[in-house]
Structure 1
Amino acid sequence: MPFLNGNQNAKKEEDFAGKKLKALPNELLQRGGDAVKVDLQRNRLKQICGIIQLKNLTELNLCRNEFTDFPTDIRGLHQLEKLYINQNNIKTIPENVFPSLEKLRFLKLSTNRLEKLPQDMNRCQHLNYLNLSNNCLRNLDPLVGLSHLKELYVERNQLADLPDQLFQNSSLTLFKANGNPLRKPPQEVCAGGLRDIQSYFAMLEANAPNEKTVKTMFLGTSMAGKSTLCRSLKQGCPVQVAEEDRTVGIEISEVFEADEGIRFIFWDFAGQEEYYITHHVFITAQAFVILAINLSSYNKDAQSFKESVGFWIKNLQLKIPDSVVLLVGTHVDECTNENDVNEKKKHIEDRVKEMLETHSTNLEQRKKNLEDKEDSSLYRDQIDQIERLTEYKIKVLDLVPIDCTKKEDIVKLGTHIKTEVLNKATFPSMEQTLPRSYYEVEKDIKELQENGDIAEYGIVSQSTLLYELKNRHDTLDDDKLKLILQYLHRIGVMMWYKEIPELADSLFVEPSFLISLFKTIVRHDLVQELNKISSEQLKSENALAVQKKRWISDYKHRASLNNVAIRILVRSELQKNYRINNEDLEEVVGSNKKEGILLSLLKHFDVCLSTKHNSPLNPKANEFCPKKNWVPSNPIVYEPDACLFPSYLPDNKQVEDNWVSDNPEDLNIHVYFLPEIPHGFFHRLVIRACSLYSPYWIGKDQCMLCCGDRRFLLRERRDEDQFIEIRCKETELETVEDFQKAWEVIRKIMIRLNKLTEQWQGLYLTVHSPCKSSDCDEYFEWNDWQEWLEDSGTSKFNIGLEEKQTCLNGHQRRTEFLFPRTPDAST
């Protein structure tokens, strides 16, 4: 919210932001009716005695102060139209405040401690924007009747049910409720937005049935016994799984417990590290995680805990920090004795408790450090982010040791799982209220598969499926059916990637088929599979045996897989396991002329990157003249028509050869990750950045890309402080325009970095520019970096910064070497 400086327009707008005020300044109160807009944010106000004297006030900013009670004096500001009072510690709002604010249109109350709203809040009839996110609200009934309300934000509260009358308001255009334990409507419905919620309530019957659906993910290292657990729980008795029959990719199955009315959807994830790069596609919130730990091989030391338990807990903390994790100790029959099992159980539980406490302590300490700074108001956004992280409480349940060869142990574990799932303290949003049509549509889709109206492999066009479903449900139009299909996608019953233009019309009603595509080429034994390609398969693609050798060499040394090899492998897998016609087969695997479904998915989810466009034109190339020998200016570099999988790269040699060395004067930004950089994050960022700029060179934890004649380096640092470094060669920057263009490239990279972090709820980022003097550890902190990313590029940024910046050790550098800065045209 822009405010003019008080001495520029003293009778209209007053700016007292960040003045450490504990009371309203007399000079402001003396203005009386002259003040129209007042900015009092980032102060230490606990009350605002005398504010009623500003009788013509239309806009008041009180955010980032120390209010614990809502200042009732505000009720006397009858001309008030905008009120910011977010980021305080307000717990209650008394009655008889909002009826007096007849002209209030905009109210921001987010990030407080509100547990309930005053019953007369709906008498604030002109209110059209209301932000109540990051509070402790359990009920929104007092908002029913706000007829002019257009935007409503209630994210991260304690809401279980939303009042259906609220969505009968035709004025409402935007509603967000993420991060609530919702059951009516379920979070998976709310994720679709306002129209989906309105359709849900329109379909909801008076006595709608409740459902308990639990997406259950089995995680753990290779050979930990996940598949044995999964299949044994499904059968209710021991099921032995041979090593050669272990999970490749992900296996999906469904179990219905009729006695308790619980439907379990089991997702068995392969444990080999090669498969981790696809896990982010399928690991979702609102899930129950069963973490299998091989007790027979567990050594009660730090390394064993890190590999078997710590790695998984950390990744869940980052990805789904409010998840529930049940530790299950397997291979008990191979342990020395019962005492050995108990000691390992205690060691694991103690280390997990210590790990969670350390995480919480680190967050609290970082928050305290920021609050103790001389002007803590400058760090309020960072403090709020840390407070958000502290609200996430991953629940790690006590370890259950199990002998998978004994039926009684399987039954006991099954009973324990049901008990935990039915515990409302553990799973507050387990029970969900759904219209009957949701169940009926899901049942109809299964019948269409069984009857052969949908192909065995489960790919069906949107138009075909909608036609079939409308024949069975004359009361459901296309929009309502799409809402139900999207809900089924979010709970994992089917897959519909409508955000991918090439796949918007394709629905995968058999998710296991889709996963079988992934596991065909993202697997731990890919070299062996490439070696198995027969002469007949090579001939089908007009390929030679010598080319197969190159495919294997490229994969081993360049982490790239030829598109022809991909087609052969996937076609072989599908023809072996599914009855699929040639036309559909080409749609899935692609051809020489077009890309198939599989590659579209792998690229969309940042698993691989096409190598095709990594060959820019050379402006310095020698001119070609007829009848004269032509000599290329650069050696021809072999660049296959293939997909590059950065996660499989063994070293950084190519990057280091092209970058050569760092220069202290390079543009240099460090993006710090708390608590750590998620597994696979860097390579997903690299894929997103390299899809923008070419040519590029990618390594194990480094990447160099080019924009014109400017070189940029991305580097992952996993030291004590984990960060991603972004550099630009200083020698390639000469003019102010050069700096501006370089900063714009960095901005685009950081936009993609910031967007990617949205997939990890448990992450917190800070950005620094290190001092450029040798042996100096000081840095310049970016407090407004997200504002820079949101800037469309048309407005000015950092104009007020001085020509030079000085670090705490006294070293100076030109500002544009440290921060993006738009030159001030007036200087």
Structure 2
Amino acid sequence: MPIFNGCSNRKLEVNLAGRRLKLLPSDLFQKGQDVDKADLQKNRLKEVTRISCLSNLTELNLSRNELVEFPKEISELQQLVRLYMNQNNIKSIPNNIFPSLKKLQFLKMSTNKLRQLPSDMNKCENLIYLNLSNNRLRDVQPLVGLGRLNELYVENNRLIELPQALFQTQNLEKFKANSNPLRKPPETICVGGLKDIQNYFEMLEVSSFTIRTIKTMFLGSSMAGKSTVCRSLRHGCPVEVAEDDRTVGIEIQQFLNTDGVRFLFWDFAGQEEYYFTHHVFITPQAFVILAVDLSKYDAECFREKVGFWINNIQLKVPNAVVLLLGTHVDCCSDEMEVHDKKRDIEERVNQMLFERKESLEQQRKNLEELEDPSLFYEQMCVIERLEEYKLQVLDLIAIDCKKPEDINRLLHYINGVVLDTDKFPFLEQTLPQCYKDVENAIQDHLDSGNIPQHGIVTQREILAHLIISHNELDLDKLRIILQYLHRTGIIMWYWDIPDLMDMVFVKPSFLISLFKAIVRHDLVSMLKEISRRDLKRVNSLEKHRDAWIEDFTNKATLSNVAIRILVHAELKRSGVDDEELIDEIVGTKKKAGNLIRLLQHFDVCLPTKESAQLNPRAPEFCPNRKWQPSSPDVCEPKGACLFPSFLQRDNLDVMQMWGQDNLEDITVQVYFLPEIPHGFFHRLVIRICSIYFTFWIGKEQCLYTSGNRRLLVREHTGKGDQFIEIRGKHSDMSTAADILKAWDMIKVIMMRLAQLTQQWRGLCQYVHSPCKHKGCKAYFEWADWQDWIVPDACEQFNMDPEDKMTCRNGHTRRTELLFPARSYADLKN
């Protein structure tokens, strides 16, 4: 039976959501013209015949069904104001639908399979909101003319060009087009927002030019020859790199080939200590060269030398093009050895890609075969999007870096690859001429000495330099151009970080040199080399230095004083002698430096107290109130920073404070496919610590408290499935209110986890609650759990505390201990 809610003037609201319907019930049509709103989401409808009988509908929700064709009868619902058609399998929309919907204001068509739009879509003259994200659209020209459109979303399609006329309306206020192979305007313009796009087209009318730029990232294990290849390609001949001159952090170089393609070479250091900062600089729409030392390769080390990198590339940039480059062939015994290793690597990589594809297909089928797959539609859509990504791994090329002919052969091959429009549809981009002029002007000011050689300048200063030579551009347009140059890696300017918005790094390599002053593989050695003179300058002794080394080795905490010394020394080596600028970057005894703020922003480190546990007596957690630390000196310059990625100790301290696991603990397990990304757990720890005070942090698990409640977050990365476990201590939950508060804590952690996951576009997640019966391996699978963590959470988790659930082995437990119940705020009301 449908649920009818009566309203004034005989208007009815029908709720048939989640009923597993394959056909609409006949009694729905008996109410006919009295029905005002119909909620038919989360069913199995493949068609909705007779829907036109509900001629007075103002709102219709057909999301999360199995529609393949857009129902033509909807054109007869002329009173319709809001229409939800998202998360179906609709491939096309016929003409003569939207001209009839004169009152339609809201249309959600996201997550379908649309390849094109009807030519008369712009006749829907009152449309205000339109979401077409996650489709297969190549053109949005039919939207031109929607004069009242206020919000438009077209992310994750196949758009190459956006029509200028679409942005000439005064009403459009919100627009997103991320994850498209855009050439005009480039995606790096679109991510800046609507104002950037409008200014782009305005400046484009004055003059334009075509640019072909490709960011090329050199990845691979330490000493694989990345720097040698990078520098040799740039110079066009072999360039030897001494072991002492190997990359620390990241090196950036530019190179223009004979076809006019500008390569931005980013040479990433291979030591594990640097992986944690790679996420800051690895971006989509890039060409990856993965170097493998063939002389040291064998089948046993495939995972370390190749598989690890392929997995992480696939997780971070799943549409990337990867060139496998075999190096050091001169150290191999003969050509047969090189041939055999080449074949082994290619076969194993292809097997990895096949298994990934097969695993996704199987997981999707498993969800489709569940009793009510509509509850898992969001997860199935994520899998389908992942299946559409095509990581292209090219055949391995083996070279001897010492031979000019091999360098030339590699260069010729790379030139051919990047000019392939199927592989790099975004290579050729159209930009206003002033973008190039501003970039050249910045370089001219560097060359002339108007900007210091270290490249650090205030926003006010650089704008003053540029306004003189480009007085036709106002300050807003110059800022937009600077933001574009930041996104392309030409400069670094973090205008979205309040403490850093006034500092511009026109030489990104210099900023990276600051990173590597403290995020490096040989940090302990650098600490040992701190001189007595440097120690005296900060009123420290050798025993302080010894304590810093001990704290970093045992607890991964580094004194803010030590950080200032190391960064100060790096600045001096780089030729910076402006003491005021040095203090601003590294901090003083009274004020934290900008570099630490930047590292915190990118989840690299966490402020803590020096040589002491963090205060376990954190304020009571409240979901609607921002958490404030109970010890204000935590963030003071005299404190220290915890670098979770450097943790080496075991988890004994954490387990001592947590105690034994209990079957009755609230337990949530978040599974990751294909695996947990490197550094994900430690970044999650940092993000959670910004909400809760940490009790203690270990290498693979950490404990949080809120009032008298404890929460354990634990990483499982052994053989088999990889997952992150969240446990709420059963003994801390004596009342129903305690249970609800524990779920509120878990909710915030999962929200942070979901936000972090968005940075890995090739990642898939599943959430389970294990059965609480001893020895039982059964579990309860969560439905689309993202619905629970958003502010207007779905009601599917609002369980009655008296409800019980039974696992497939017949064990029964209270639902509130398996799934989130109502929020604490609702309970108090």
TM-superposed deviation, 1:668: 1.4
- For the 8 Å contact 1:667–1:727, the answer to whether it is kept is yes
Change over 3 Å in CA distance of 1:22–1:669 after alignment to 2: closer
| Other structure's SS at 2:493 match | coil
Match of 1:282 in 2: 281
Match of 1:343 in 2: 340
1:602 paired with 2:624, answer: no
Amino acid at match of 1:326: L
| Other structure's SS at 2:440 match | helix
Amino acid at match of 2:36: V
| Other structure's SS at 2:491 match | coil
- For the 8 Å contact 2:288–2:322, the answer to whether it is kept is yes
Question: CA deviation digits over 1:25-69, x for unaligned, max 9?
Answer: 221222221222222223333333322222212222222333322
| Other structure's SS at 2:142 match | helix
Match for residue 588 of structure 1 among 585, 590, 593: 585
For residues 217 and 676 of structure 2, what CA distance do their matches in structure 1 show? 23
Match of 1:706 in 2: 705
1:649 paired with 2:647, answer: yes
For residues 793 and 417 of structure 1, what CA distance do their matches in structure 2 show? 49
Match of 2:529 in 1: 532
For residues 773 and 242 of structure 1, what CA distance do their matches in structure 2 show? 60
- For the 8 Å contact 1:457–1:580, the answer to whether it is kept is no
| Other structure's SS at 1:549 match | helix
| Other structure's SS at 2:492 match | coil
TM-superposed deviation, 1:83: 1.6
For residues 309 and 462 of structure 1, what CA distance do their matches in structure 2 show? 42
Instruction: Point out where structure 2 has 5 or more consecutive residues left out of the alignment.
Output: 619-636
For residues 176 and 321 of structure 2, what CA distance do their matches in structure 1 show? 24
For residues 52 and 37 of structure 1, what CA distance do their matches in structure 2 show? 13
Question: CA deviation digits over 1:6-27, x for unaligned, max 9?
Answer: 2667961222333443433221
Match of 2:230 in 1: 230
**Number of equivalenced pairs:** 803
| 1:703-742 to 2 correspondences below 5 Å | 703-719=702-718, 720-742=720-742
Amino acid at match of 1:356: L
Amino acid at match of 1:465: I
For residues 111 and 825 of structure 1, what CA distance do their matches in structure 2 show? 35
| Other structure's SS at 2:786 match | helix
Match of 1:295 in 2: 294
Change over 3 Å in CA distance of 1:405–1:618 after alignment to 2: closer
1:56 paired with 2:53, answer: no
Match of 1:634 in 2: none
TM-superposed deviation, 1:792: 6.6
- For the 8 Å contact 2:667–2:770, the answer to whether it is kept is yes
TM-superposed deviation, 1:669: 1.1
For residues 659 and 24 of structure 1, what CA distance do their matches in structure 2 show? 53
Bigger mean CA deviation after superposition, 726-735 or 190-199: 726-735
For residues 148 and 800 of structure 2, what CA distance do their matches in structure 1 show? 39
Match of 1:629 in 2: none
Question: CA deviation digits over 1:755-813, x for unaligned, max 9?
Answer: 11111111122222212111111222222432221127999960556433332333233
Match of 1:570 in 2: 567
- For the 8 Å contact 2:801–2:814, the answer to whether it is kept is no
- For the 8 Å contact 1:233–1:410, the answer to whether it is kept is yes
For residues 825 and 437 of structure 1, what CA distance do their matches in structure 2 show? 58
TM-superposed deviation, 1:731: 1.1
1:469 paired with 2:471, answer: no
Change over 3 Å in CA distance of 1:546–1:439 after alignment to 2: same
TM-superposed deviation, 1:662: 1.1
Change over 3 Å in CA distance of 1:16–1:732 after alignment to 2: closer
- For the 8 Å contact 2:123–2:146, the answer to whether it is kept is yes
Bigger mean CA deviation after superposition, 518-527 or 676-685: 518-527
Amino acid at match of 2:399: I
TM-superposed deviation, 1:703: 0.7
Percent identity over the alignment is: 56
Match of 2:630 in 1: none
Match of 1:683 in 2: 682
Question: CA deviation digits over 1:509-544, x for unaligned, max 9?
Answer: 111111111111111111211111111111111111
- For the 8 Å contact 2:787–2:794, the answer to whether it is kept is no
For residues 41 and 347 of structure 2, what CA distance do their matches in structure 1 show? 44
For residues 616 and 40 of structure 2, what CA distance do their matches in structure 1 show? 56
1:363 paired with 2:395, answer: no
For residues 653 and 792 of structure 2, what CA distance do their matches in structure 1 show? 35
Change over 3 Å in CA distance of 1:265–1:825 after alignment to 2: closer
TM-superposed deviation, 1:586: 0.9
Match for residue 611 of structure 1 among 608, 619, 623: 608
Bigger mean CA deviation after superposition, 604-613 or 565-574: 604-613
| Other structure's SS at 1:434 match | strand
For residues 795 and 72 of structure 2, what CA distance do their matches in structure 1 show? 38
TM-superposed deviation, 1:740: 2.3
Amino acid at match of 1:282: F
- For the 8 Å contact 2:319–2:391, the answer to whether it is kept is yes
- For the 8 Å contact 1:796–1:822, the answer to whether it is kept is no
- For the 8 Å contact 1:4–1:13, the answer to whether it is kept is no
| Other structure's SS at 1:386 match | helix
For residues 559 and 234 of structure 2, what CA distance do their matches in structure 1 show? 39
TM-superposed deviation, 1:315: 0.4
Question: CA deviation digits over 1:205-228, x for unaligned, max 9?
Answer: 376211011111100000000000
Match of 1:437 in 2: 434
1:308 paired with 2:321, answer: no
TM-superposed deviation, 1:695: 4.2
Match of 2:111 in 1: 111
- For the 8 Å contact 2:39–2:61, the answer to whether it is kept is yes
Match of 2:156 in 1: 156
Question: CA deviation digits over 1:132-165, x for unaligned, max 9?
Answer: 1121111111110000111111111110000000
Bigger mean CA deviation after superposition, 434-443 or 765-774: 765-774
Instruction: Point out where structure 1 has 5 or more consecutive residues left out of the alignment.
Output: 620-638
Change over 3 Å in CA distance of 1:826–1:452 after alignment to 2: closer
Amino acid at match of 1:129: Y
| Other structure's SS at 2:415 match | helix
For residues 766 and 675 of structure 1, what CA distance do their matches in structure 2 show? 11
4+ residue runs over 4 A deviation:
7-11, 792-797, 799-802, 823-827
Change over 3 Å in CA distance of 1:115–1:546 after alignment to 2: same
Bigger mean CA deviation after superposition, 654-663 or 366-375: 654-663
Match of 2:454 in 1: 457
For residues 752 and 64 of structure 2, what CA distance do their matches in structure 1 show? 29
Change over 3 Å in CA distance of 1:801–1:324 after alignment to 2: farther
1:786 paired with 2:793, answer: no
Match of 1:551 in 2: 548
1:141 paired with 2:138, answer: no
Bigger mean CA deviation after superposition, 33-42 or 426-435: 33-42
Match of 1:631 in 2: none
Bigger mean CA deviation after superposition, 740-749 or 344-353: 740-749
TM-superposed deviation, 1:355: 0.5
Match of 2:88 in 1: 88
Match of 2:37 in 1: 37
1:385 paired with 2:382, answer: yes
Amino acid at match of 2:164: D
Amino acid at match of 2:152: L
Amino acid at match of 1:38: A
| Other structure's SS at 2:3 match | coil
Amino acid at match of 1:281: V
Bigger mean CA deviation after superposition, 808-817 or 441-450: 808-817
- For the 8 Å contact 2:92–2:114, the answer to whether it is kept is yes
RMSD: 2.2
For residues 600 and 545 of structure 2, what CA distance do their matches in structure 1 show? 23
Question: CA deviation digits over 1:538-584, x for unaligned, max 9?
Answer: 11111111111111111211111122111111111221221321111
TM-superposed deviation, 1:385: 1.0
TM-superposed deviation, 1:296: 0.8
- For the 8 Å contact 2:277–2:604, the answer to whether it is kept is yes
1:319 paired with 2:316, answer: yes
Match of 2:266 in 1: 267
